């Protein structure tokens, strides 16, 4: 507690010596202000463009703390919408979750076939829009193609090439899809697909990060170098956190499959 109070006692003076143009020239905070609770100090804080915050996150392999940037999105909304960038990154994670759930399961269900894309003469369509899918038994899925019989062969091909280790057979407009026994080889194949999907998602994430950084760089002649640097660091932190979330999803899925 004593250490914290000593740090807070020196904080007003540090703020007044800040290199940020936004707070240079502001009145010095009253001596001994303990926690920026006085009105004048609050005003200084609100006028600061950016703030830095130390986090107890260890640097990889070094056992040292590394600085993290904590930027109020509202203070930089004229430069970039950080909340939107975060949402775009999270959307990549949600897409990966959906892919894992839909396509990478050791137990194939009727629902797993719903979104298999079928190439027809009229374009691509999800299988569940062309045929009626039902689970006849735990070992057999039936796809009734009566509504679009001309797409039966294309649907057969799409199911076979779905990467789900399925080998359908056709009886008129009825496609029978036996559910294969789960083998070690199949589990390993799914785990490999999970890694590939994660890597593809990280590529999409890098594009989102690059787009955001390029947006920030457009303002390099309008704001300070410190502002640009801190925003780029914040965006990189967001991307790193998102990639770490993907790695956790991959580890959990791999454990489930193997």
pLDDT on residue 64: 54
Rounded CA separation 191/257 (Å):
6
Which residues pair with residue 125 across a beta bridge?
A: 118
Q: Mean per-residue pLDDT for 136-146?
A: 91
241: nearest Cα among 68, 26, 76: 68
Are both 152 and 91 inside the same structural domain?
Answer: no
Question: Could you say which of 129, 144, 178 is where a domain stops?
Answer: 178
11: nearest Cα among 30, 168, 106, 220: 30
Question: Could you say which of 178, 196, 215 is where a domain stops?
Answer: 178
Give pairs for 161-167: CB < 8 Å, separation 24+.
162/103, 162/113, 162/116, 163/103, 163/193, 164/103, 164/108, 164/112, 165/189, 166/108
CATH number for the domain spanning 122: value is 3.30.1360.40
Domain that holds residue 119: 110-178
Which structure tokens are listed for 43? 């005003």
Q: How many domains does the chain have?
A: 2
pLDDT on residue 16: 41
DSSP for 9-23 reads HHHHHHHHT-S-TTT
Query: Does residue 199 sit within a domain?
Result: yes
Express as a percent the part of the chain with pLDDT over 90: 47
CB atoms within 10 A of CB 84: 12
3-state SS assignment for residue 54: strand
Query: Does residue 53 sit within a domain?
Result: no
Are both 194 and 97 inside the same structural domain?
Answer: yes
Which structure tokens are listed for 76? 């930089």
Rounded CA separation 131/151 (Å):
9
Integer CA distances (angstroms), 124 to 102, 130, 146, 163, 200, in order: 18, 10, 18, 18, 22
Are both 85 and 205 inside the same structural domain?
Answer: yes
Are both 247 and 200 inside the same structural domain?
Answer: yes
Query: Does residue 41 sit within a domain?
Result: no
Burial class (CB in 10 A: 0-12, 13-18, 19+), 22: middle
Are both 230 and 190 inside the same structural domain?
Answer: yes
Are both 144 and 188 inside the same structural domain?
Answer: no
Query: Does residue 13 sit within a domain?
Result: no
∠ CA 173-177-181 to the nearest 5 degrees?
170
The residue with tokens 């950080």 is: 82
Are both 188 and 94 inside the same structural domain?
Answer: yes
Question: Could you say which of 131, 147, 178 is where a domain stops?
Answer: 178
Query: Does residue 87 sit within a domain?
Result: yes
Residue 40 or residue 79, greater confidence? 79
163 neighbors 190 (Cβ within 8 angstroms): no
The residue with tokens 């998102």 is: 242
Lowest mean pLDDT among 52-56, 100-104, 235-239, 250-254: 52-56
Q: In sequence order, what are the residues at sequence separation of 6 or more whose Cβ sits closer than 8 angstroms to the Cβ of residue 117?
A: 124, 125, 126, 127, 158
155 neighbors 127 (Cβ within 8 angstroms): yes
Are both 225 and 248 inside the same structural domain?
Answer: yes
Which structure tokens are listed for 220? 């390099």
pLDDT on residue 22: 42
- Residue range 40-63, pLDDT digits in tens: 333 333 344 444 444 444 445 555
CATH number for the domain spanning 224: value is 1.10.132.20
Are both 131 and 169 inside the same structural domain?
Answer: yes
Residue 25 has pLDDT above 60, yes or no: no
56 neighbors 65 (Cβ within 8 angstroms): yes
Are both 96 and 197 inside the same structural domain?
Answer: yes
Are both 96 and 196 inside the same structural domain?
Answer: yes
- Residue range 106-133, pLDDT digits in tens: 666 767 788 889 999 989 999 999 999 9
pLDDT on residue 69: 79
Are both 206 and 81 inside the same structural domain?
Answer: yes
Rounded CA separation 229/209 (Å):
14
Backbone angles phi, psi at 25, to 5 degrees: 90, -5
């Amino acid at each position: 507690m004593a250490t914290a109070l000593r740090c807070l006692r020196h904080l007003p003076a540090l703020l007044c010596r800040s290199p940020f143009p936004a707070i240079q020239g502001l009145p010095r905070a009253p001596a001994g202000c303990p926690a920026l609770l006085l009105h004048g100090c609050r005003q200084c804080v609100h006028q600061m463009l950016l703030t830095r915050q130390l986090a107890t996150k260890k640097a990889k392999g070094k056992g040292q703390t590394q600085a993290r940037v904590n930027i109020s999105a509202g203070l930089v909304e004229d430069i970039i919408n950080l909340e939107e960038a975060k949402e775009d990154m999270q959307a990549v994670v949600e897409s990966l979750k959906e892919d894992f759930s839909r396509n990478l399961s050791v137990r194939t269900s009727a629902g797993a076939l719903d979104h298999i894309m079928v190439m027809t003469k009229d374009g691509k369509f999800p299988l569940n829009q062309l045929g009626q899918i039902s689970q006849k038994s735990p070992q057999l899925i039936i796809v009734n193609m009566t509504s679009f019989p001309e797409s039966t062969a294309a649907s057969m091909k799409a199911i076979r090439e779905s990467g789900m280790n399925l080998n359908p057979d056709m009886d008129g407009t009825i496609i029978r899809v036996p559910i294969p026994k789960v083998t070690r080889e199949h589990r390993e194949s799914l785990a490999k697909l999970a890694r590939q999907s994660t890597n593809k998602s990280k590529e999409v994430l890098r594009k989102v990060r690059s787009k955001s950084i390029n947006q920030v760089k457009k303002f390099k002649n309008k704001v300070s170098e410190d502002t640009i640097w801190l925003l780029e660091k914040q965006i990189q932190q967001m991307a790193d956190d998102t990639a770490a979330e993907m790695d956790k999803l991959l580890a959990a899925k791999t454990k489930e499959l193997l």
